[in-house]
Amino acid sequence: MNKGRLIVFSAPSGCGKGTMLEEICKDDKFSCSISATTRAPRVGEVDGVNYHFLTREAFEKLIAEDGMLEYAQYCENYYGTPLKPVNDMLDAGKNVILEIEVQGAMKVKALRPDALLIFVLPPSIAELRRRLLKRGTEELDVIEKRVSQAAREIDEAVNYDYVIVNDALEDAVADFKAVIKAESLKTEFAAEQIHEVKKNA
């Protein structure tokens, strides 16, 4: 069996990343990695579904054992990607998607040059602002902070392998799948296939 592909997936807040991933992972060739964190679960969050909730000791032990593919600290809490479940899924032939932000993405790229980095753009900054306003869950000043943050993150898109604009969900998901398909057809992965074609001549 072919190994799956490690995919890093980043998008500014408000780009519809969550909905895209939900749609993509309906296809059982894809699996989303579940992050680990030391923060307390919020109401309704389930261990092993939303996050792997770990104690600070358990998280630091994993770091010490090189058991984290990448990790960072925000607001006194650790967030990271445990390595073993990722490798297990890849070995099982699944394409594993890491939904992480730009800094984490660059760390993964450095450690795993075979990782495929995909960045999702909004159709425009103006449209991003409209979407955030439409949600209606945040104050205007928070929204403007998110918009500025998004603009900074978009500058990092050049460090990714592919850029997909999420204008219509269906098109964006089709673009994502086209990228994964095309990557699997690259000649560098075809040596075995060429060998198969030629045997039993």
Residue pointed to by tokens 């955030």: 132
Q: Within positions 121 to 160, which residues make up the interface with its own copies, using CB under 8 A? A: 121-126, 147, 151, 154-155, 157-160
- Between 80 and 104, CB nearer to its own copies: 104
CA distances from 106 to 32, 35, 138 (A): 18, 17, 29
Residue closer to its own copies (CB basis): 63 or 194: 194
Quick one: which of 63, 92, 169, 178 contacts its own copies (CB under 8 A)? Answer: 178
Amino acid identity, residue 167?
D
Which one, 90 or 179, has the nearer CB to its own copies? 179
Shorter beta-carbon distance to its own copies: residue 55 or 187: 187
Distance CA 7, CA 67 (A): 18
CA-based torsion, 193, 32, 98, 92: positive or negative: negative
Taking the C-alpha atoms of residue 163 and residue 115, their distance in angstroms, rounded to an integer, is: 15
Rounded distance, CA 20 to CA 122, Å?
Answer: 12
Q: Which of residues 93-122 bind its own copies (CB under 8 A)?
A: 119, 121-122
Compute the least distance from the CB of residue 114 to its own copies, in Å: 17
User: Which of 51/162 has CB closer to its own copies?
Assistant: 162
Rounded Cα distance between 95 and 33, Å, is 10
Cα first-last separation, the chain: 23
Closest approach, Cβ 93 to its own copies, in A, equals: 18
Count the residues of the shown chain that bind its own copies, applying the rule CB under 8 A.
Answer: 40
Distance CA 33, CA 42 (A): 19
Question: Which residues, listed in sequence order, are joined to residue 78 by a DSSP beta bridge?
Answer: 73
Which token pair is 4? 């799956």
Q: Select the span of 40-48, 75-83, 102-110, 189-197 touching its own copies (CB under 8 A).
A: 189-197
x/- binding map, residues 27-56, to its own copies, per CB under 8 A? Answer: ------------------------------
Q: At closest approach, how far in Å is the CB of 184 from its own copies?
A: 9
Residues that bind its own copies (CB under 8 A): 119, 121-126, 147, 151, 154-155, 157-165, 175, 177-179, 181-183, 185-187, 190-191, 193-194, 196-201
